[in-house]
Chain A
Amino acid sequence: MYIKPGDFLTLLAGTIGTLWISAAVWSGGVADTAVIRSGGKIFREVPLSRDQQIEVPGPLGTSIITIEKRKARITSDPSPRQYCVRQGWLQQAGEIAICLPNEVSVELKGGAKKYDSLNY
């Protein structure tokens, strides 16, 4: 036999290792607050535990942000291409939806803030 019993062991260990590292790297952590910004300034910080709708004014009009079941999304926005609306629900810490023309953004924060960009 050209495949030896230990090879299956290595394959199994490799698969488990890959799955484990994927889970460790790709899970952004549990989010507990949504930071809503308008025009670059923090408009409100709201906990995800309470379901609500928030209206955020921007230069083009009003964006509506919905928080439901510990998830957040931009429900409606006057921006022409609707990228931030089509992005859908945000769930993990570090996720962010930005409506550029209307200068409104929602960012989810977890217990430990991770950097999403660094400059030096």
Chain B
Amino acid sequence: MRIEERGEPAAPHLSQSSILNPQSLHDPQSSILLDTTQEDHHIARMAAVALGLTVLENAIPTPLPGVKPGLANIVTLIVLARYGWRAAVWVSLLRVLAGSLLFGNFLAPGFFLSLSGAVCSLAALALSMHLPQRFFGAVTHSILAAFAHIAGQMAVVYLWLIPHSGIAYLIPIFASAALVFGTVNGLIAARFMHEAPTR
């Protein structure tokens, strides 16, 4: 992504006309133009889809706070396979940031839990994508990322929010949820890519 600034700064006659004529506010000569690439558009589109899934998922009631299907990770898996790890990082982190703004928990504990989970699963994906592709597909990536996700979250919970060994009792619940939802999300992503091989 490049940011370009165009136009001469503040010529007096120009500012005069821009006050009188609102059309000139849209004059490219005096505005900052973001020069976007095709990849930026892909990333933005995918992040928007991921955000939509996050909103959808928040409408689903869960039996235990913190146990969520993580549907947005389906998008991350597809982006990883189609556009590579860098794009997956963008989509995942944009989704976390925009989602937190949407739900109003930016910089709140929930945001840092999402962030740590996302960062750890991206790290797991960075390693697991180098597994031989003949034998390991999206399901493997998804399961490994899901485990990394809860590991990251539990680490933040333990080091920051609840520094008590009692939270270890919750690990089996979260691990089971990661296994189940990781598998399901991986299957959905794999099936989607199988049925829609291009784009």
Contact = CB atoms under 8 A, between A and B. Distances in A.
A3 B137 contact: yes
B191 interface: yes
B contact patch SS: helix
Given A25-B168, A115-B165, A7 B136 contact: yes
Contacts of B186: 7
Given A17-B175, A18-B172, A18-B179, A7 B165 contact: no
B140 interface: yes
Band of interface residues on B: 20 to 34
A1 to B, nearest CB: 8
B194 A2 contact: yes
Contacts of B165: 115
A7 B139 contact: yes
A90 B190 CA distance: 47
A7 to B, nearest CB: 4
Interface bracket on A: 10 to 19
Nearest to A15: B179
Contacts of A6: 131-132, 135-137, 140
A40 interface: no
B172 A14 contact: no
Contacts of A15: 179
B175 A2 contact: no
A25 B186 CA distance: 27
Contacts of A21: 171-172, 175
B148 to A, nearest CB: 12
B137 A25 contact: no
Interface in A1-33: 2-7, 9-11, 14-15, 17-18, 21-22, 25-26
B30 to A, nearest CB: 52
20 contacts: A2-B191, A3-B187, A4-B134, A4-B135, A4-B139, A4-B140, A6-B132, A6-B140, A7-B139, A7-B140, A7-B186, A9-B140, A10-B136, A14-B179, A14-B183, A21-B171, A21-B172, A21-B175, A25-B171, A26-B172
Interface of B: 131-132, 134-140, 143-144, 147, 164-165, 168-169, 171-172, 175-176, 179, 182-183, 186-187, 190-191, 193-194
9 closest Cβ pairs, A-B complex:
A6-B135, A2-B194, A22-B172, A7-B139, A6-B136, A2-B190, A4-B137, A10-B140, A18-B175
Interface of A: 2-7, 9-11, 14-15, 17-18, 21-22, 25-26, 115, 118
